[in-house]
Structure 1
């Protein structure tokens, strides 16, 4: 299956480094900090991570559980989370992954399919 990209958004004020499925250093993705200017108000930082549409692999998100380590550029420590992409995810829609670094021990996420939340670790 063809690899596509998932748009990844960083909701924090510091850039983050995202390591997916124990990727080698060259495949660690840098996601810029969220913007908080008077002209844009708030906008998340954005980058892309490859998505295979099948099994997870080093540096590539896949269907099922994916190990993600999130390290902020400000050096506060690495948080780990498991991003689980549902089996029924449609590949013909743009997927968006919102990452929320909380502390060195906690991160959360929401996966959207064409703007509709389909999975996540947040509880309301």
Structure 2
């Protein structure tokens, strides 16, 4: 079972879309969270510990996670998807970008390497 954590700023559109797409796949568990204190669900140490792979929408999300949870990231991979905050929840273009990018990482990534 592979556990995927999707992160954006407010956990409103992009990361919940990633969670929704990937939670339906066999052998995948998915969660989403946001880096902002105003997020629908703010990322926690428990989320970091739970995740096998972390997908962030922008580099700023990776920087925030590293600043706040650096000691918990020793054996974690954070993948920056470079998806700007210009999509609504389940926007077809957003779904396509998330599906393609995450599938590529899952096909090519060795879990546990940093």
Q: Quick one: higher RCO (CA 8 Å, sep 6+), 1 or 2?
A: 2
Q: TM-score, normalised by structure 2?
A: 0.30
Q: TM-score, normalised by structure 1?
A: 0.29
Compare the two structures and name the one with the higher strand fraction: 1
Compare the two structures and name the one with the higher helix fraction: 2
**Structure with the greater alpha carbon radius of gyration:** 1
